[in-house]
Structure 1
Amino acid sequence: MLKMCSRCKKRPAIIFMTKLEGDKSINEGLCIKCAKELGIKPISDFLDKMGLSEEELEAMSDEVTNFATNALTPANEDETRAPAIDIQSLFPNQSLATNGESEQNQRSNTEERRQQSQKEKRKLLDTYCINLTTRAAEGKLDKIVGRNDELERVMQILCRRQKNNPCLIGEPGVGKTAVAEALAQKIVEGTVPYKLKDKEIMLVDMTAMVAGTQFRGQFESRMKGLIEETKRSGNIILVIDEVHTIVGAGDAEGGMNAANILKPALSRGEIQLIGATTLVEYRKHIENDAALERRFQPVMINEPSIETSIEIIRGIKSYYEKYHGIKIPNEVVRKIVTLSERYITDRYLPDKAIDLMDEAAAKMSMNSPVINEIEKISERLKTIAEERISYEAIAEKTEDIYKKIAENITTEMNLKHKFDELSAQRDNLVLTENDLAKVIEVWTGIPASNITENEFSKIDKLEDAIKDRIIGQDEAVKKVARALKRSRAGIAYKKKPASFIFAGPTGVGKTELVKVLSGYLFDNPEAMIRLDMSEFMEKHSVSRIIGSPPGYVGYDDAGQLTEKIRRKPYSVVLFDEIEKAHPDVLNILLQILDDGLITDSHGKQVNFENTVIIMTTNAGSNTASNAAGFTKSMHTGDEEKVMKALEDFLRPEFLNRVDEIVVFNRLTKENFGDICRIMLNDLKKILTEKNIKFIFDDNTVQYLVEKGFSEKYGARNLRRLIQTDIEDVAAAEIIDNYEKGISRIGVTAVDNKLVITGI
């Protein structure tokens, strides 16, 4: 039977002694802890020599209790004999010194015990945290460039007596975590205030803390243990990335979450914490908990400027050059930042620039046979070195072994020679602007040729290129080209999209000009987002543009316009028949026209800076041509009549934000002739793709113009005439001769009739 300590009555007695009181002898048993407290020799001297702390003595007493209980509780009836007890096992990692042991060995053992004790004190910190200071000392953190002001502010807060917990707030990718890493690097360098010297930065892994805590109290126990270890160490600064996750982390029904566990320690200044989160999450989670918010000092981490981002990329590009095995010239660094800023509008610097550099370098490295061959040779050289070590380790070498060693050395020399040759070739692998453009093409769909082409040269040729397709509207084309040059040259007052109102009767080329602009500017006529304003005549239709507000059906669905622009920021946006839109829809367009920004129902800003906004209207064209409509000349007051019609349904502040109001002329018979030739040439291209030659003459053009000319319906009447009189007959000829095939279709006009022949 296990005898308990006669003093504390809690732990088993392992030290026995006999006391004499008069004629009686009294047997007493004491546990280790009580014997130490009573100064019983030689136990007290022995424990003092071991240098145990109070916590270690308590832990040892618990171990002895468990050992004694298990040892004296047999698993079956045969195991009743008391086991032999190894005293050394009761004192792990302790040395039982003898009189002959040297003082040096005792000091060494004491140091080992202290190190072991230190490890046990930081068990949770080492398990659930990443030591950024250690990683910085080992050179495993990338160099941090810039952010000196923000870092100075963080150190200033950390040196405060109370509420010394900075919270880094900024958009995703601007470098919040990098500030914490920069602090760790400064501590290693010794360039921090004296109060922060010897501090350790520990990044807490909240997912690891929560993982596996299936029973109530497990998570709370881990958090309390982490806080206690941090308090005992005295030099730990905890970092929690995505600090908003502590609100609700480990929360159970009626349980405590991480935030509530941390509050008392933060309030008393017992621990220091650096948090990092986005502005949206800070507002949603931290600000809603006023008791938690007051314990943090916000530090705004704004997106760096283009010049700062260039310095950041220059500072870290060596890591990517080494990893991918290529060269990244300084002139390409500027292109990395400027291209990412221009074409990737839904993300932030420097993250998007780093991603662009990384992916372009990865693509180049992956497709390079030189780098792939170098990697294979490197692996082969490692294998050869291992084989040689195994051969040389053989004690009795035979002739065959010596032969293999010689072959091994020869192969190694050949591979090293080849490696040197390939390494020289690798130095010629240089990242170019074209490599960056190809990655952006994959991300955004914008052709690489359009990205690398000199845009000023392209804009300069815009007017002539449009006139080749748009007939009879030279003044309108000139206004559009002039406004686009002003916008793209970057001398506009604000960063806003180029915007136009195209006014004029039907069939004069308004929509066709939009298609031509889309094709020329963005190399894709389909890069046009068309919204028919007849579908937005109701007040509630505003939600279709930017998305439904919270609590309404469709809140989770994206807005028709905002989502398309977010996915394709380089587009022509056409608002067709703007006069039919509800006034509230026009109010939404005001901020797009003025600032180039709009906020959707989810609070996300959508950038319209790189779009071209075009609104079409027939206002003023429904009256008689000589009275209030359009005439053949731009000098008969048509612009004034159009402006008067526009002012009837558009407010002055709306008209004032539009770059150009372009009034289209009515088309003449001469214009119809040129348009007819363009349409017939388009048909010729389609038939050429089917290996069919298409021939037409001037008589055909004259016949179509005479029959199709209409001031009321414009060129659309000519389009219908070509469809019915030529395309339908040509289609019938192709189908009738599908077995033997047809190689030629000819069209001419004889006696005021079209004659179509197929061969």
Structure 2
Amino acid sequence: MAGTLVLPVALETTFAGRTGGRHCKSHGTRRTPSMLAMSLNRPVRMAAFVGLRSVHSFSAVRSSNFRSTVASYRFSRRGRRASFVTRAMFERFTEKAIKVIMLAQEEARRLGHNFVGTEQVLLGLVGEGTGIAAKVLKSMGINLKDARVEVEKIIGRGNGFVAGTKYRGEFEERLKKLMEEIKQSDEIILFIDEVHTLIGAGAAEGAIDAANILKPALARGELQCIGATTLDEYRKHVEKDPALERRFQPVKVPEPSVDETIEILRGLRERYEIHHKLRYTDDSLIAAAKLSYQYISDRFLPDKAIDLIDEAGSRVRLRHAQVPEEARELDKELKQITKDKNEAVRGQDFEKAGELRDREMELKAQITALIDKSKEMNKAETESGETGPMVHESDIQHIVSSWTGIPVEKVSTDESDKLLKMEETLHKRVIGQDEAVKAISRSVRRARVGLKSPNRPIASFIFAGPTGVGKSELAKTLASYYFGSEEAMIRLDMSEFMERHTVSKLIGSPPGYVGYTEGGQLTEAVRRRPYSVVLFDEIEKAHPDVFNMMLQILEDGRLTDSKGRTVDFKNTLLIMTSNVGSSVIEKGGRKIGFDLDSDEKDSSYGRIKSLVIEEMKQYFRPEFLNRLDEMIVFRQLTKLEVKEIADIMLQEVFTRLKTKDINLQVTEKFKERVVDEGYNPSYGARPLRRAIMRLLEDSLAEKILGGEVKEGDSVIVDVDPEGKVIVLNGESGLPELPTPAVAV
């Protein structure tokens, strides 16, 4: 019986973003160290049987310098990328492989064991297992120059190994021929990528699958086998087959650190520079490793960092290959001039045609000059940098922003002005509530310049106050103004989570329950849009278990869903609204009127705020309140503030009627009537909206349906001496009306 050789080797996965880790398996041995040394004096061939789906081949060039680069591997199929793996990475996961080998030699186990890596890491990284092999050979005192590992024969191609097996027994016959060929030579190591696919492969009614065919040969030590799979797939498939599992010894391959990823990217730099015909700055490689680790949480290093530099190279090359913007504008003008010239010739206006011809020639010369200038600049960059334009750190930042929606680029001048004027802009939609607007603006500015804690959300607030004072409106305005649109606000009505069994909807149902595959309402929304405002409306109505779940979001900026995936909340702004303490605000608000000066109002507000916070401390647990950045108490709305809000709501009606080509205006008397009926300190601005619906929208709807108001009409709404709302239709005689305070 041929002995087996422990030689853990891992091949690279596909280039375009595979999810899942790389893990290695190697088979135990009954040979003595001297026998191993003798066998390794000959060339070692590797047969690659890759996942029943795809086949790779590679040539290996091994270096005896273990200080920085242990080995470099070059794929020959479709120009796969090379990988340079540092010594520090090998130290972590080769020790166990060597121990397994020595135990196998000393104890001469009756059954061999194959190394099975089960860590979800090292996506697409080349040379992990081959590097282990080199380390193993060196630890045994074998000269690396005398031991060659090469793919000499490819077994299977894509789905071809299973494809075409129409009749029962064809697949088994094909696999047995493979096994016989491997048994005849001690120099072949069988590598199986996605080894979990062996279970069930080729199985049909009355037939056995590939795993059961291989088990006897593995048990007798007739095959030298290495496999690769992920932790989830290993647990899901391999562990369920104890007979297959005990024939493999797991070796976990960890994800490289950021520093190790930087070294890997430096090793890959040359190939990508040649491919894209440009250069990468060292800062861009460092940024790719750091930013991908910080902002892309659902993939692994170095795969996500490699994809970053690849896409950045493509975009930079495309940008330099394009015609300058100014030349494109001139080309549009040239086409129009040529068209006008031809029309002038057809109309026998030769004087005009001559002028247009001169302009045409002038534009052609300008376009040619711009294109030549662009080519010269690109040529100069190529000559100075050997391989073309440069990929800078800003290019990497731009790619990360486009992938995640998170602004990681440096703050521009326009954005600086936008941030500095944030309070002024928010106050256009949120009337009053200076404390809340200032607190929100401060937190966004801190986060944007990079001063916030990297392990916590952008900010976390609880807005306390009576209904209708602008708590939810402030969150909407913030999402629209700075986060891009109101769709950037994830809103959760906590009245839907009042029962214990509804809490699981936030992170997803447990396995075995309905809705498990759908994910959680909160976690899925944040995974899709990690840069957003998360609004927990009326938080006091939630079940106490919700607060337990939110503790880790507030403190660590993360939450694990029902599928075990960690969702990143570090780029979200958390806002919780509550009506706790509204009775205290209502009682204290009656004392704040127009007859008090600003100092007295601030003093009264301070007393009310302290009372509300005390009431919140009685309602919420200390560990929850202690994790919040700030507790903000909203004031009651004054009648003057309600009038400003009325202008905003009326402007919304004006805008809707504009789409129907109806020009609407209202008089000051009508505004006062709306404010009088819509002002209620206990209910905030919501009664105002109802008053506008009743007094304005209902009257207009009747006039439109009756044909009195049609498209193209100008309409004025007024109040007669008896207080009745009247709608006038006419083109002239309309009084001059003030413009509403804010246009929405």
Q: 1:308 to 1:603 in 2, by over 3 A?
A: same
Unaligned runs of 5+ in 1: 1-117, 372-416
Partner of 2:84: 145
Structure 2 residue aligned with 1:316, among 261, 265, 268? 268
**Residue 238 (structure 2) pairs with residue 286 (structure 1):** yes
- Asked if the contact 2:122/2:302 (under 8 Å) is kept, the reply is yes
Indicate if the aligned counterparts of 2:459 and 2:573 stay in contact, CA closer than 8 A. yes
Task: Tell me the distance in 2 between the aligned counterparts of 1:738 and 1:700.
Answer: 19
Calculate percent identity across the aligned residue pairs: 43
- Which residue does the alignment assign to 1:472? 432
**1:713 maps to which of 659, 664, 683:** 683
Distance apart, 1:274 and its partner CA: 3.4
Q: Which residue of the partner structure matches residue 368 of structure 2?
A: none
Residue 242 of structure 1 deviates from its aligned partner by: 1.8
Note closer, same or farther for the CA distance 1:499–1:131 as it changes in structure 2 (3 Å cut). Answer: same
1:277 to 2:229 alignment: yes
Amino acid at match of 1:142: R
What is the identity, as a one-letter code, of the residue corresponding to 2:550? L
Q: How many Å apart are 1:315 and its aligned residue?
A: 3.6
Between the aligned partners of 1:578 and 1:652, the Cα distance in structure 2 is 15
* 1:655 pairs with one of 618, 625, 648: 625
Cα gap change, 1:623 to 1:223, in 2 (>3 Å): same
Q: Distance in 2 between matches of 1:733 and 1:543?
A: 50
TM-score by length of 2: 0.66
Instruction: Answer whether contact 2:196 2:238 (CA < 8 A) is retained.
Output: yes
1:755 CA drift (Å):
6.4
1:333-357 superposed Cα distances (whole Å, 9 cap, x missing partner): 4555555455544323332333344
Partner of 1:300: 252
Tell me the secondary structure at the aligned position of residue 626 of structure 1: helix
After superposition, the CA RMSD in angstroms is 4.8
Indicate the residue corresponding to 2:521 in structure 1: 560
Structure 1 residue matching 2:549: 3-state secondary structure? helix
Going from structure 1 to structure 2, the CA distance change for 1:149 and 1:753 (only over 3 Å counts) comes to: same
Where do 1:508-657 residues align within 5 Å?
508-622=469-583, 625-626=586-587, 635=605, 637-647=607-617, 649-657=619-627
Cα deviation, 1:460-497, whole Å, max 9, x if unaligned, reads 54444333432221122233334445555354273345
> Residues of 2 paired with 1:153 and 1:305: CA distance?
12
Cα offset, 1:567, TM superposition: 1.6
Is 2:128 the partner of 1:179?
yes
How far off is 1:278 after superposition? Answer: 1.8
SS at match of 2:59: helix
Question: How far is the alpha carbon of 1:429 from its aligned partner?
Answer: 6.3
Match of 1:492 among 438, 453, 456: 453
Matches within 5 A, 1:14-33: none
| Change in 2 beyond 3 A, CA 1:563/1:476 | same
- Distance in 2 (CA, whole Å) between partners of 1:245 and 1:523 is 44
Kept after mapping to 1: 8 A contact 2:215/2:244: yes
Which residue number in structure 2 is paired with residue 354 of structure 1? 306
Does the aligned pair in 2 maintain the 1:504–1:664 contact within 8 Å? yes
2:425 and 2:227 map into 1 onto residues whose CA distance is: 55
- CA separation of 1:694/1:628 partners in 2, compared to 1, >3 Å: closer, same or farther? closer
Which deviates more, 508-517 or 346-355?
A: 346-355
Task: Indicate if the aligned counterparts of 2:561 and 2:567 stay in contact, CA closer than 8 A.
Answer: yes
Q: How far did 1:316 drift?
A: 2.8
1:238 to 190, 194, 204: 190
| Structure 1 range deviating more: 552-561 or 299-308 | 299-308
| CA distance, structure 2, for counterparts of residue 680 and residue 528 of structure 1 | 25
User: Is this contact kept in 2: 1:314–1:333, CA < 8 A?
Assistant: yes
Where do residues 446-461 of structure 1 align in structure 2 (5 Å cutoff)? 459-461=419-421
Query: TM-score w.r.t. structure 1 length?
Result: 0.65
Is residue 194 from structure 1 mapped to residue 143 from structure 2 by the alignment? yes
Structure 1 position 306, deviation (Å) = 4.1
CA separation in 2, counterparts of 1:747 and 1:322?
Answer: 71
Q: Work out the CA distance in 2 between the residues paired with 1:553 and 1:358.
A: 41
> Structure 1 residues 180-189 or 138-147, which shifts more?
180-189
**How many angstroms does 1:224 deviate by?**
4.4
Size of the aligned set, in residue pairs, is 593
1:50-108, Cα deviation, whole Å (9 max, x unpaired) = xxxxxxxxxxxxxxxxxxxxxxxxxxxxxxxxxxxxxxxxxxxxxxxxxxxxxxxxxxx
Distance 1:490 1:122, change over 3 A: closer
**CA drift at 1:685:** 5.1
1:285 corresponds to which letter in structure 2? H
CA drift of 1:223 comes to 4.1
Indicate the residue corresponding to 2:358 in structure 1: none
- Runs of 5+ in structure 2 lacking a partner? 1-41, 62-72, 105-111, 324-371, 383-387, 593-600, 732-744
Cα distance 1:370–1:235, how it changes in 2: closer, same or farther (>3 A)?
farther
After TM superposition, the structure 1 = structure 2 runs for residues 370-389 of structure 1, keeping only pairs within 5 Å, are: none
What displacement does 1:723 show? 3.4
| Amino acid across the alignment from 1:149 | A
**1:168 corresponds to 2:138:** no
Contact 2:46 2:188 in 1 (8 A): no
Q: CA deviation at 1:573?
A: 1.8
Amino acid at match of 1:668: T
Which residue number corresponds to residue 382 of structure 1?
A: none
With a CA cutoff of 8 Å and minimum separation of 6, indicate the structure with the bigger relative contact order: 2
TM-superposed deviation, 1:584: 2.8
